[in-house]
Amino acid sequence: MKILVSFVVVSFGLIGTMARAQDTSVNVNTLTAPELAVVPVIDGNLDDPAWAQVPAVRVTGSGDSPAATAPGDLDITMQVAWDKETNALYFAFNVKDDVFVNVLGLGSSVGSSGWQNERMELILNGLNTGEASHGENSEFHTQYTFDLPNTIDDSPVGLADIPVSTEFIAVPVLEGIDGSIIPSVWPFNLNDGYVQSAAMIRVTNPQVDTWMEAPVEWNWEFKIVVYEQLFNASATGIDMADQANIDNGYLDFFEDAVHVIHILRDHDVIGLSPQQNDADEFDIPPTREHQQNTTNRAGNWDSSAELTGLILLPAQVNVADWPIQ
C-alpha cells in the first residue's frame, strides 16, 4: 500500500490533501485512512503485520482539558485503516504516560465521573453531517468508551492481581457507548462483530513494583462498525440486565432495524475524534488533568464541524511515512 499524504498546518490542526474532490468543509481538519489488505488480530499487539502497512500520526490536540506538554506525559500515536469485507474501521493507539492513575475501571458506568478517568473515547459520525444539533447522545454521533482496569488494590475489576511487568501484558477492556448502551454488569463486552477492543500495558521503569502512579506504556486496538444512526438502548426496548443479552454482547441491539449501518466506500468521509483522558493525581472521584485528540478543540462532540474528517482511501501497493509538513 502506498499512501501519499501531505499536510498543511493551520490554526486549528491539519488539513490533508485527498485523492479526489471531497466536501470536508464541515470538519476542523482532515486525515486519511488506507484500506487494509489484511485485517489485524485485535489483541493489543501492534506488531501485527497489518499495522506495518498503515501510517501513524501523533495525537497532540487539546480537548476539554489542556493537552500534556511534558515529554512522556501522554505521548500518543494513532493509526487508522478500514476494511471493505468487514465494513469496519480499525484503530491502533500507542500511549506513553508518566503517571498511571486509573481509579474508575468501570468508567462512565459508575456515577457521572467516568469522563475523568484514564479512558479512550472514540466519537464517530458516519454521515459526517456537520450539524450542531447532532450531539453526543443523538443518533448521529456515537461515542464509544473504553476503560482499562483500575489501579486500586481493592477494585473488583482492577490490576491488583496482574503482576507488574516491564513486558507488554494483556489486560481486559471495558466497553460502552455513551448515551446508547452502557452494560450494567461485568464483563462489559459488546459484540465483537460490531465493537471489538484489546489492550496491552507495561511499566517503563523496572524499579516499579505497583501499577498505581507508575510510568506506563500501553496499546489500544479497536475494530468498530460505523453507523449512520444509532439510537439508545431504550429505543430498542432491550433489557440491559438480561443474561442472554449480556452473553451475546447485546447483539440484538446492534442488529435492531431502527439502526442504520454505514457502508464504507472509497473516499467516504467519516467524522472522528479520538479523546484520550489522563488523571495524574490519585483522587476519588478522579480529576482529569489532560485530554488529547486530533481536533485541538474542546467540546468536540457537539457538532461534526468539531470533528476530524477521516477520508477513506483505496488499497495501494505499499505505504510511505505519514509526515506532518
CATH number given to 30-122+135-262+273-299: 2.60.40
Average pLDDT, the chain: 84
pLDDT, tens only, 97-130: 999 998 876 665 555 677 888 899 999 999 998 7
Q: Could you read off the pLDDT of 147-175 as tens digits, one per residue?
A: 888 888 777 678 877 899 999 999 989 89
Which pLDDT score is estimated for 1? Answer: 36
The reported pLDDT for the residue numbered 322 is: 46
Contacts of 187-193 spanning 24+ positions with Cβ under 8 A: 187/246, 188/106, 188/109, 188/147, 189/249, 190/249, 190/250, 190/254, 191/248, 191/249, 191/250, 191/251, 191/254, 192/42, 192/223, 192/249, 193/225, 193/251, 193/254
Phi, psi (rounded to 5 degrees) for 287: -120, 120
- In which residue ranges of the chain is pLDDT below 50? 1-21, 317-319, 321-325
Cα 311 to chain centroid distance, Å, stands at: 17
